[in-house]
Structure formats: structure tokens, C-alpha cells
Amino acid sequence: MDGHRQNFWTPTEEGNSPPREEYERALGMVATPSELVAFMVGLGQPADGKPLRVLEPACGDSPFLRAFAARYGAHHDLTGVDIHPEAVERSKAFLPHAKFLLADYLLGQPEEPFDLILGNPPYGIIGDGSHYPIHLLKERKSAYKERFATWRGKYNIYGAFIEHSVRLLRPGGRLVFVVPATWLVLDDFTDLRRFLARSGRITIYYWGRAFPRRNVSVVVLLVEKGARGMVLYDRDKAAVWKPEYQGELIRFETPETLAFERGGFSLGQCFTIHFAARSPEFRRCPFVETEPRPGLVPVLTGRNLHRGWIDYETCTSGLWMPLEQAPLLRPFYAYPHIVVAHTKGTRVVAALDSCCYPWREEFHLVPKVGVADLQAVVDHLNSEAVQRHTRSLYRDFVPHLTAAMLRLIPIPSGFIERGISEQLPLGGAVNEWVHE
Ligand SMILES: C[S@@+](CC[C@H](N)C(=O)[O-])C[C@H]1O[C@@H](n2cnc3c(N)ncnc32)[C@H](O)[C@@H]1O
């Protein structure tokens, strides 16, 4: 039995390890503050005196196993896994009675499930070192993609750690991870949220910027395998409870935000949200030039967009083209339409492009129904009421406003043409699935 346990993860080739700082960055190393470790270890409290099978994946120096053993005794069966030899050696020195495995956690399969899996997995998108933090693992990306059902889009390695760990729990077992808050709302995590909703009861404790000097807002995720429902806490105060949770966006909903949403149609009912044409499309377009000359207009970016107005003069993209050719890149450039910022944090910044310029960035709203007054919609989107609404729902979960958030913003029914508005249910998209 013990032999199996020793071998359930295939050891990684030791080879030449990169210098410590480099490996820490490239493998997503972030040390967990001790207050947070103590809180999480509290969530893993053994229910009775029986020894638990406890795992800390990507254990680094094993702060969670050490705190667990200090609080609940050394009689538990403790295992740590890390891909880096130094981390495994340091952990062995700290906890000589625990088992430590040098292995890629995401590619291993233990013989026996665990009662408790806890820790701080690495965060980051796996890819090229020039663009993405987790580049030491990039050769394995296709193996991960094949293995994890929730892998979607660029994904973030912490999503794979969550899926794998939930699968390794016994029924009734618990996962306690600290992870970025992005999975609560981003479309890339739609499958992960549905998977979690099917797998167990999920309790989320919002901690915000708990890591000093790290620009990341985090939550503690507790999954109790086999139970149902979702509870969102603001630190230790219960804020949202959904016993029938199925994987929808997780937000700080309040009676006020829900009433605000029910008071109008959702933006997604009234508008299709388009992204601007991408840089490669501009590069391929024969009408696009890199020097100004009479007859050309600048291609606009987020820096041209301001609350309620657009700077049509300054070229922020380094690209120019004839105005009348812009619709070749996106047909909706031909019509006056609303532009909403994607590149200005989670603030809602909107303006009406009445001059029909080409854009290389931002969201572009094309009406699906008769919208009586586009300028009134712009003023509403820029209003303090909408800013307050989005801030209170999404806080600092993500660095940018997303299409899913935008789609749920309510538009007062008075802005929609009579006749059409009667056919639309008010606040219709609030509880619907949100698709890209
Ligand atoms: C975010 S730190 C967590 C460290 C520790 N749990 C803590 O809270 O201080 C990341 C650790 O993950 C390890 N790691 C990264 N990818 C891994 C993988 N695929 N399998 C196992 N360990 C991995 C790194 O070597 C590093 O020690």
C-alpha cells in the first residue's frame, strides 16, 4: 500500500534546475501570508479524532502541512507534491514524518483518494516566457489540455489544479485552496464553475488583495464533495447563498443590485456586443497605412475613448486608413454606435461614435432592438448608479470589464422603442447562462 502511495506521481527528471528566483517566477511561486494559512487550516479541521489523509499540492515549503500538523497533531497522513527538487528537499527537512513527492501534480494519479487537499496552487497562463508567467511547463500544456475537462481558452493553471484536486477527494472530502477571484466571473471558467456546482457545495471567502505586493485579488475556495449549493462570504460574513447553484457568475448580489437589474432590460437583450477588429486584421488590410496623409483618419484605441466623448484627432495606434474603408474590417463601423471601454479597469466608460471611425480596441454595441436614444444609453452607462452597481457586484475580481458583466447591466425600459419593449421580459438575462 505504502509502495503505491510513494509511486502515484511519476517523479520529474531532476536535470538542471534554473536558479531559484527564475524558477519561482516561472512556476508561479507566491508565498502565502500566515494569517491566510491559519484561516484555511481552520477550514480543514478534522471532524473527529480519526487521522486524515491530507495533501498539499504544489507545496513549496509546505506551509499548510506544517500549520496543519502544528494545530491538529502529527498522527495524520500528510503528503506534499512539488515539481521542484529544492522545494521537496526543504519540505522534507521541515516535516520528516510526512511524504514528499517530486512530481508534476497535474499529471499524477494516486491510488487512494484524500480527505483533505489544501494549499496555494500556482497561478498564471502557461505559455511563452516572453508573454506568460508559467513558461517552464509549456511543453506539457497539450497533456494538461487533454486531461482536464474544464480547460478552456488560454485557461489559467490554477483552474487545472482545482479540477484535479476535486477529482482526488473522497466523497465528503474537502478542498481548501486560495486562488485568484477571476474564476468567479470570467468566461474561460464557465466549465469550471459548472463542474464545481456538480461536484459539491462550494463556499467562497473573499479576501481581496491578501498577498502583499501582488496585484491579485484572491478568494479562499472550500469544496465539500457530494454536497450542493454555493455560499459567498465577504471575509467571514455570509453575503450570497444559492442552494440551487448551477455554475452562473458569482457576484456580490444584494437586494439593491437585484432590484436595479429587474428595473430594466439587460444590455445583452438590447445589444450585441462585438469586439473591435484585431491587430493582425489591420496589418493585412491593404487600406491601412502607418503614416498620416490627407484623406486618412486615425485608427482608434482605448486611449481615444473618454467618458461621454471620443478624441478623433490623436493617433494612438500608429495606424491610419480612409474612413470609408473602415466597414471592410467590421461592418458595424459604418453606423453610429456605442463604444464601451475594455481597457480601463472595471469602470464603465462609454461614448457614442457618431463619426463611424475604425477601432482596434474596446467593446462595440450594436442594437438588436429599436433603441430610441443611443446618447441616453451612453449617459446611463456612464452614470454613478451604474458605476456603483458594477463596483458592488464585482469589486476587484478581474482587472477589466468583461463582456459577461456588460451584458448584465440593466438598460431602463424607457430607452427601448415602444412595441418592442413589451415583448422583452424585464431583467431577463439575470439568471440565464452567460455565453461569449
Ligand atoms: C504558488 S506556490 C505555492 C507554494 C506554497 N504552497 C505556499 O503557499 O507558499 C507554487 C509552487 O508550485 C510548484 N509547482 C508549479 N507547478 C507545479 C506542478 N505542475 N506540479 C507540482 N508543483 C508545481 C512550484 O515549484 C512552487 O513551489
Three cell numbers written together for 257:
443590485
pLDDT at 5 over 50: no
- Which atom of ligand 1 lies closest to the CA of 59? 6
Active-site hit among 121, 180, 358, 410: 121
Q: How far apart are CA 206 and CA 218, in angstroms?
A: 7
Specify whether 118 is located in the same domain as 264. Answer: no
Reported confidence tier of residue 338, pLDDT bands at 50, 70, 90: very high
Among 301, 382, 379, 316, smallest CA distance to 347 is for: 382
Specify whether 209 is located in the same domain as 277. Answer: no
Three cell numbers written together for 410:
440593466
DSSP H/E element including 13 = none
Specify whether 305 is located in the same domain as 245. Answer: no
Active-site hit among 57, 63, 64, 120: 120
Phi, psi of 300 (to 5 degrees): -90, 155
pLDDT given for residue 377 in this prediction: 96
- How many angstroms is it from 234 CA to the middle of ligand 1? 27
Specify whether 70 is located in the same domain as 124. Answer: yes
Assess whether 123 carries a catalytic annotation.
yes
In a domain, 181, yes or no: yes
- How many angstroms is it from 30 CA to the middle of ligand 1? 8
Mean pLDDT of 385-393: 96
Could you list the beta-strand ranges (E) of 83-140: 99-102, 114-119
Model pLDDT for residues 344-358, shown as the tens digit of each residue: 777 999 999 999 999
Cβ 27 under 6 angstroms from ligand 1: yes
In a domain, 139, yes or no: yes
pLDDT at 223 over 50: yes
Active-site hit among 100, 105, 114, 123: 123
Q: How far apart are CA 74 and CA 4, in angstroms?
A: 22
Specify whether 148 is located in the same domain as 132. Answer: yes
Q: Are 196 and 184 in contact (CB under 8 A)?
A: no
Cβ 106 under 6 angstroms from ligand 1: yes
Specify whether 270 is located in the same domain as 341. Answer: yes
Phi, psi of 250 (to 5 degrees): -105, 120
- How many angstroms is it from 99 CA to the middle of ligand 1? 16
Q: How far apart are CA 305 and CA 351, in angstroms?
A: 7
Q: How far apart are CA 59 and CA 100, in angstroms?
A: 9
Three cell numbers written together for 360:
482596434
Write down which residue in 250, 270, 301 finishes a domain. 250
Active-site hit among 148, 211, 271, 282: 211
Cβ 31 under 6 angstroms from ligand 1: yes
- Residue 325's domain is classified under what CATH number? 3.90.220.10
Phi, psi of 297 (to 5 degrees): -120, 155
Assess whether 120 carries a catalytic annotation.
yes
Specify whether 182 is located in the same domain as 144. Answer: yes
Query: Can you give the residue range of the structural domain that contains 408?
Result: 257-423
Write down which residue in 193, 227, 250 finishes a domain. 250
- Residue 58's domain is classified under what CATH number? 3.40.50.150
Among 191, 183, 107, 179, smallest CA distance to 146 is for: 107
pLDDT given for residue 436 in this prediction: 30
Model pLDDT for residues 277-316, shown as the tens digit of each residue: 999 999 999 999 999 999 999 999 999 999 999 999 999 9
pLDDT at 100 over 90: yes
Which amino acid is present at 231? V
Q: Which residues contact 289 (CB under 8 A, 6 or more apart)?
A: 296, 319, 320, 321
| 3-class SS of residue 434 | coil
Mean pLDDT of 91-116: 95
pLDDT at 421 over 80: no
- Which atom of ligand 1 lies closest to the CA of 136? 16
Write down which residue in 207, 232, 250 finishes a domain. 250
Specify whether 58 is located in the same domain as 125. Answer: yes
Among 245, 264, 227, 232, smallest CA distance to 381 is for: 264
Among 280, 279, 411, 431, smallest CA distance to 350 is for: 411
| 3-class SS of residue 308 | coil
- How many angstroms is it from 211 CA to the middle of ligand 1? 16
User: Which residue's CA lies nearest to atom 6 of ligand 1?
Assistant: 59
Specify whether 313 is located in the same domain as 245. Answer: no
Reported confidence tier of residue 424, pLDDT bands at 50, 70, 90: low
Specify whether 173 is located in the same domain as 302. Answer: no
Beta strands 77-82 and 99-102, pairing class: parallel
pLDDT at 429 over 50: no
Assess whether 431 carries a catalytic annotation.
no
Q: How far apart are CA 204 and CA 394, in angstroms?
A: 14
Length of the chain equals 436
Assess whether 211 carries a catalytic annotation.
yes
Per cent of the chain over pLDDT 90 is 76
Reported confidence tier of residue 425, pLDDT bands at 50, 70, 90: low
Mean pLDDT of 381-410: 95
